[in-house]
């Protein structure tokens, strides 16, 4: 499940384009809509807990390089 947030401005401050993805807390595997419904991760078999991975595209970097951070 990915949510893409396009670059925009908040109070005149530019916010980079970013992508938020819900992943399994145990194995970091992306959680699909089916897994969200069942509550069980099909990758590791655990009932997953949400953990967000955030990818941010820096506007000044060519080629869409991504920096991964954990929340
Ligand atoms: Zn898992």
Give the pLDDT of residue 40.
Answer: 93
pLDDT of 62 strictly over 60:
no
pLDDT of 61 strictly over 50:
no
Question: Has this prediction a pTM greater than 0.85?
Answer: no
DSSP 49: -
DSSP 61: S
pLDDT in tens, 11-49: 888 888 887 788 888 898 888 889 989 999 999 999 987
6 CA to middle of ligand 1, Å?
28
Q: Can you tell me the distance from the alpha carbon of 3 to that of 33, in angstroms, rounded to the nearest whole number?
A: 12
Domain boundary assignment for the chain: 2-60
Alpha helix (H) residue ranges in 1-71:
33-38
pLDDT in tens, 41-58: 999 999 987 776 666 665
32 CA to middle of ligand 1, Å?
11
13 CA to middle of ligand 1, Å?
37
């Amino acid at each position: 499940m990915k949510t893409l947030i396009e670059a925009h401005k908040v109070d005149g401050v530019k916010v980079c384009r970013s992508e938020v993805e819900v992943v399994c807390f145990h194995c970091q595997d992306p959680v699909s809509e089916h897994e969200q419904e069942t509550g069980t991760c099909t990758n590791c078999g655990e009932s997953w807990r949400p953990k967000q991975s955030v990818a941010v595209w820096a506007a000044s970097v060519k080629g869409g390089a991504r920096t991964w951070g954990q929340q």
